[in-house]
Amino acid sequence: MGITRIDPGPRMSEAVIHGDTIYLAGQIGAPGADIETQTRAVLAEIDELLDRCGTDKHHILMATIWLADITDFAGMNRVWDAWVSQTAPPARATGESRLAAPEYRVEIIIVAALKPAG
């Protein structure tokens, strides 16, 4: 069973595929913007990466969401709820954590399954 790395760099890959499982690096976006704008940017990045890996949001197994400020929970959820698969929502955890830089308000880490062939 091989390992495929998407956009590998000296520190990390944007995604790693092993067997039928896809692991995305933490995605961040739109530094300095409000929580809803940042969340939309992150989810767009996730959609693009999942597509490049051969799957989509309907095959997400687990989402881990880090918020720089837990008071952004409702705003992030407004965007998340409009985006997430209504027929196949993933397991999810959300917590508060200091992110890599103060202008980032949300980081989302995804584990997904490949789409079945056919």
DSSP 67-96: ESSGGGHHHHHHHHHHHS-SSSPPEEEEEE
Residue-level pLDDT at 30: 84
Q: Given the structure tokens 């990466």, which residue do they identify? A: 49
Q: Judge contact between 42 and 108, C-beta under 8 A.
A: yes
Q: Judge contact between 56 and 43, C-beta under 8 A.
A: no
- Half-sphere CA count of 32, side-chain side, radius 13 A: 0
Q: Which residues of the chain have pLDDT under 50?
A: none
Residue-level pLDDT at 40: 98
Q: Where are the domains of the chain?
A: 3-113
| Protein fold of 3-113 | 60s Ribosomal Protein L30; Chain: A; (3.30.1330)
Residue-level pLDDT at 29: 83
